[in-house]
Structure formats: structure tokens, C-alpha cells
Chains A and B, each alone.
Chain A
Amino acid sequence: MAILKVNDVTKKFGSVTALDGISLEVRQGEIYGFIGPNGAGKTTTIRILLGIIKANSGSAQIFGMDAWRDAVEIHKRIAYVPGEVSLWPNLTGGEVIDLFVKLRGGHNKPRRDELIERFDLDPTKKCGTYSKGNRQKVALIAAFAADADLYILDEPTSGLDPLMELVFQECVREAKAAGKSVLLSSHILSEVEKLCDRVSIIRRGRIIESGSLDELRHLTRTKVRVQTAKPIPNLNDIPGVHDVEEFPGGFTFQVDSPRLGEVIRYISSCEITALESTPPTLEELFIHHYQREG
């Protein structure tokens, strides 16, 4: 069941087209990765989903309701963490967390205190004195303390230390285990790779690829390192093979993933002695997509 559905959304700021026909779908119980470089349109999409800005055309729905018109109704059931957390310098972290939880309409004090403990935050300090990471913790604690059905997280870990990032990943997995959905915008690809079920890649206001990680990998090249007893003839000429390099006793090369089977059949005739194949990391995938489109 789709919890969040963006259909062909376009947003212009004056003459600049920030989003050009974006579509997205997040299903119940899944963690959805939204990746793309700075300025690609991730935050604009999220702001439309929050009803903070209005799409010029297309529809953005959460829980089947319109993101702009029914913003208040929707917001009772979502929790949001912005990438850049600005807080009131003269309020304490504890006050801000309570305020956010209250504005969403929930109240779960033990959960709040447990999260403060886990994220190791001093809630008695004024927000003006917090570092970027600590301000982010305030927003994360307020978000996870709420019993939301959908978490919208916009680069939520850019200021966290590695230990806190683990705590964050735990919290996201707990939310998923409880049947909640998560939209995670990020450019920390290892994090997305660890957490997300499906991803969309956005570039200059357009979605250029969507699907599960496996599906996306299928669209790219696999790295192969092979050693054979007999030399492999004409490796360069086989369709789908790229970047061939020879080393003593073998070759490394890349194969378009759909052609992997054919290529392996071809080289197996040369008596393989050792074979390694590595699927592309998300990072390679990402860079591949960007360079291809570049």
C-alpha cells in the first residue's frame, strides 16, 4: 500500500525549474532512500510533501490526502527532521523537544527520556549553544519520540558522529520493525545502502532511476577479476565488456550487468582458475548514473 505518492510534480521558482515532473512512491513499512547531490531538488520535494511550498502542477499525497490542502491532518501522523536544524537560541533542547512533540499532538515522556539518553544529549542547554550535531539530535529525538506513521528525514545525520549515526540507524530499523515507513533523503550512500529497501536517484529536478538496490545494480556494470589457464582472445571485442586491464595471469574488466552470463560462458572456455565478481557499490552506481547523464 502506498503511504506517500508523488505524481508528476513540477515546481518553479521564478524562471528556474527546481522540479521537473517528479514521481515517487513509498509503501507501507519500507525505508525509501532519496539520493542526489546538493541542489538536485531533494529538499524542494520534501518541502512540497510537508505543504510548506506548493507544487505548480502534479499531485503530492500522503496517507491518500493532499499534501498542501490537508497539511495539518497529515502532520499529526508524520515526523520530520530537516537537514539544517535552526532552533530558537534562547530555548533549551528539552523545551524544544517537548514543544515539537506537543505540536504533533502526542506525549510519551518515558520514550522521550530514553531517546535523550541514547542520543546522549544535555536537554538543559540553550539551543544557541548547541553544535550542528546536537541541534540535529534535538530534531531526531523529537521525531522518534513521536508515534508517527511516516518519518521524513532530510539528510538527518550530516552532523552526527559515527556512534550517534549507529543510534540513528537503530531508531530507523525499530521504526520499520514497528511497521512504519521512512523517507530518507541522503547523500551518505553507505547509510542508504545499509538501511533502504528501495531508492530513487534525483538529478537536476528529475528522477533518473528508481527501484530496489538489486534492480539498480542490474542497470550498471559488475567488476570482474579473472585468472585463466589459457589466454582469453579478443576480450575487448566482446559486446558489454569495458575497461579491460591485463595483469600477470589474468584480466580485470567491467561487464554490463545484463551481459554477465554471456561473458562468463565465453571466458569459461579458457579454463578459469580464479574468478571474483563484485557488484557495484551504491556509490559507483550513483557516479555511473551521473556521468552517463552528464
Chain B
Amino acid sequence: MSRLFANTLALAGLIWRRDRIQIPIWVVSIAFWSAVLAAMLPSLYPPGPEREIIAQTFANPALISMLGPGYGLDNYHMGAIMAHQMLLFTAVIVAVMNIILILRHTRRDEEQGRIEVVRSLPVGRLANAASAVLVLVLTNLILGAAVAVPLALLGLEGMDWQGSLLYGAVLAATGIFFAAATLFFAQLTETSRTASAYAFAFLGLSFLLRAIGDISSEPLSVISPLGLVLRAQVYVNNYWWPVVLVLVAAGAPILVAFRLNTTRDLEAGIIPAKPGRRYASRLLQSPLGLVLRLEKTVVTCWAVGMFVMGASYGSIFGDVETFAQTSDLYKQILPSVEGFSLTDQFLAMLLAILSMIAAVPALQIILRLRGEERANRVEHLLAGAVSRNHLMAAFLVVAVAAAAVMQALSVVGLWLAAAAVVSDPFPLRETLAAALVYVPLIWILIGLAAALIGYFPQHTNLVWIYLGASLFTTYFGSLLRLPEWTKKLTPWGHIPSIPLEEVSAGTVFLSAITAAILMVIGFTGYSKRDIIR
């Protein structure tokens, strides 16, 4: 038994050494933003009757689907606000961190042949997997403490030590659970790409299950790890059992993963690879064909995912409508937008957010151009009779088309599900048209990615930060009462919220032109520079 784990500590040391920048950046930025946002809360929500009324309106299904159930709305102190508005979002980010880090040290190292070198040394068969788990458990515990201590020290109303520690513990437990689940997915597939698709699909599913469950069925939420941890009711009732339960549950995927890891061959997956084609298909004859062939699986998975996500949100509309009709309070304080219902406002928000999610696969496609370069494969194409412009155009075409298709699919899913639960559904044609207004915004991000590839190939990841910022200002802009200019920094801040406001053809045209200009910049830079690693 101990032989299976020989030298685990040494390998854990290696992981610390390799990630000595990356892990602290994750931990410090999550802790820093949590503290900053908490510190902002008192000025956003001054005590008084107004705060209680706002709290009541937060109990609407639309917000619950996005933020989780609101606990302590009857006494909406700073702690309750923090846990209600930030905890789920932060937990998702912690889960993303764990998925990325676990894959980096397990399947990707294995895929790249680094584990082979390690395993030729006197190292146990499970040492690598165990060292990754060990490091991430520690990282999550440190992260939990790094978040909890500043929150408690702020000493805000309702944010005591016990609640703050639980807040940190919820994050740590969520992280450990997703690290464990990812370790399991890493055993199944031969490539880290597929493993990461499984892990992120699992995260998305947990989120959706929670969203639907929080509105209509408590047991459904408790099945989802994200739903379960929110039952800790941090700062309100401070239950520790969900944290314990999630940690215990994390043991199962770890044990299964260890078992699979000891029995399978190195570099093999549990899901076997089939023999492939002897000849290239008709499609695979050009750079465009290659892009389509390479992105086939990713695009298909995202297409299904976007449809399901749209449908999940659509299924909530019935509850949103009922709430709006029965809540007198709501009618009193939110007649702010004349002639539009809560349903309309929720729809406007959803369309914007769905378009940002649709941007993810589109950006993945265009950034693959850089990925291929980094992997030293672009030279095969450029050594053939293919120009730089031709190559970049192939990736751009697929990305631009994917953006539109993804957005359209999510809206069709949304409409189909909403039509099934709402008595008087919004018209499909108009909804679809409204949704497609956001597509040129995705194109702007694609253009930005192209421009980065052209001129700053080492910094293409900046486009992800920009997308993250867009999502943050849209999602939390009103809740955190961020100043209006912060929204204007992102393309999404410049588009009217349909159907609440009129869209001018000019805005849409302008976005498309901006995107085109950025793409031209990308072409210019890419055809002038060296191909580098």
C-alpha cells in the first residue's frame, strides 16, 4: 500500500514549485475581491426600511436562479447580503480553479509524457494523483482561511467569526469536491481536453440543477454540490453539516479515481480509443475543413449545452410570472420600467448573459489558432501552400458562425421551455431577433482575440479577463450599484437591454464594424510577425 504512494511528498513539492506563482495568484485574487466587495456593502445597502423592502424583492425566482436561495432576507444584514450575493459566484470560481489545476497536474502531464519520466523513478503508482490532491486540499484550506479572516476582521454587521469561517469552509469544501470530481474525469479520457470538457459540463450541470431546484424542488438542489453548500446558510443559521457532507462525498470520486489509476495503463483512458479513418474525408481538405474537424466535438458539446442552459432558464419563467402577479410589494417598488414586466426584465438580463456564455466556445475556436502555433503545428500548414491570411480567416469564419449558432440555440431552448410553462409566452421571432443583437458583441471579442494573436501573441488570455469583466458588470452591476462607466468599459454596456429599450440598427451596425476593424488589425499583425512558440 505504502509503495503505491512512495515519494508523494516529493512530487507535491514539485507541484508547489511549478505553481508557485499561479496558486498564490488564484488565492490572493479571490480573497482580495471577496474582502473588497464585502467592504463596499455598507455603502450600497444602508440600514433602514428601504433595505428590508429591497430584500423582499430579491426573493423572486429570477434572482434565485442566478444567486441561490436568499437566506435571512427578513433581517438582511451585511453577512446575509454577502452570502446571498457572492457565495455561489465565488464557489463557482473556486471550482474552476480546481478543475484547471487538477487537470494540469494529472491528465495533461500524462498526455505530454512528463508522468512517464516521473514514473521511471522510484515513485508510487498513485504518487502523482495523490500529490495533486494533497496540494489542492492544502490550497483550498489556505484559500478558505484567506477569505474568512479578512471578512471576520472587517467586523461588519452580522459578519462574525463563526459565519466568516463557515464562508471560507464552504469555498474550501466546494473546491475540494470539484478537485476530486476532476481527478475522476481525468482517469476516463486519453486527452486533457476531453477530461476538461467533462469536468466543466459537470460544473454547469451542478449549477443548472441548483437553479431549477432552488425554485421548484429542494431535493434537486441538495443533489447538486453547489446547491448543497448553499444550505449552510452562512451568516444566517451557520449550519456546518453541508460542508461535512460535501467533504465526505468528495472521498468517493478520489477513491474511484485511485482505483482506476492503479489498474489502467499509463497514458490510456478508461474510455477506449477506436481506430479512425484511413483516408481524410471530403471535408478535411483545407484549413477551414481542418478547423471544423478539430472543433467538431467541442462545438457539438457546446451546442447541446447552450440549448440545455437556455431551456433550464426558460423553465423558470412560469415562476417568475406567478411571482410578479402575486407580490404586491414587488409591484409597488419596481414599476421602474413602464409597461414591462419582471419577465421582460429577466429575459433582457438572460439574453445578455447567454451571449457572454456563447462567447466562450467562439473564443476557444479563435484562440486555437494560437494554441496550434504554441504546439508547433501551425508550421505544417504554413509550409503547405497556405497563407497566413487564409489560415486566420478559417478560424475566424468558424468562430464568427459559432457565436451566432450558439446564441440562437440557447434562445430557442429558452423559448421552447418558457412556452411550455407560461400562459402567454413572448413571441419567438422577436426574442430571437433580440438575442441576435448581442451576437456582434461576441464578434468584437473574437476580433479582440484576433488582434491579440496578431500583435501580442503571448497575451491572448487577456480576452478572457475582458469577458470575465463583462460578465461581472452585467451580473452584478445593479446589485453592487457599480458606477455606470464600469459597464461602458465592456461592449455589453453599449447595447440597449432588449426588449426593454429600442435597438437602433446603428448600434448593431457599429458593433459589427468594430469587430471587423479588430479582425483586420489581427490579419495585419499575424501576417507580419514571426511564428513563435
Contact = CB atoms under 8 A, between A and B. Distances in A.
Contacts of B90: none
Given A47-B531, A88-B377, A100 B284 contact: no
A96 B278 CA distance: 10
Contacts of A52: 379, 382-383, 530-531
B273 A71 contact: no
Contact of A88 (B286, B294, B528): B294
Contacts of A89: 111, 190-191
A124 interface: yes
A103 B384 contact: yes
Overall SS of chain B's interface:
loop
Given A53-B530, A90-B294, A94-B280, A129 B380 contact: no
Contact of A87 (B297, B377, B528): B377
A95 B385 contact: no
A50 interface: yes
Contacts of B375: 86
Contacts of A80: 379-380, 383
Interface in B249-305: 273, 275-281, 284-287, 289-290, 293-294, 297
Given A72-B386, A100-B380, A54 B277 contact: no
Nearest to A97: B280
B190 A128 contact: yes
Contacts of B284: 91, 95, 98-99, 102
Interface residues on B, range: 35 or more
B507 interface: no
B379 A47 contact: yes
A120 B289 CA distance: 27
B531 A123 contact: no
Given A47-B531, A99-B290, A129-B273, A92 B382 contact: no
From A71, A102, A103, A126, name the one whose CB has the most chain B CB atoms within 10 angstroms.
A103
Contacts of B276: 91-92, 94-95, 124-126
A51 B382 contact: yes
A78 interface: yes
B530 A124 contact: no
A94 to B, nearest CB: 5
A124 B275 contact: yes
B383 A99 contact: no
Given A47-B379, A72-B390, A103-B287, 20 more contacts: A71-B387, A72-B385, A72-B386, A76-B385, A80-B380, A86-B376, A86-B377, A87-B380, A90-B294, A90-B297, A91-B276, A94-B278, A94-B280, A95-B276, A97-B280, A98-B279, A102-B280, A103-B385, A124-B275, A129-B273
Interface of A: 47, 50-54, 71-73, 75-76, 78, 80, 82, 84, 86-92, 94-100, 102-105, 123-126, 128-129, 139
Interface of B: 111, 190-191, 273, 275-281, 284-287, 289-290, 293-294, 297, 375-377, 379-387, 390, 528-532
30 contacts: A47-B531, A50-B383, A51-B382, A52-B382, A71-B382, A72-B390, A75-B385, A78-B383, A80-B380, A82-B376, A84-B376, A86-B376, A88-B377, A89-B190, A91-B276, A91-B284, A91-B294, A94-B278, A95-B276, A95-B277, A95-B281, A97-B280, A98-B280, A99-B284, A99-B285, A99-B290, A103-B384, A103-B385, A124-B275, A128-B111
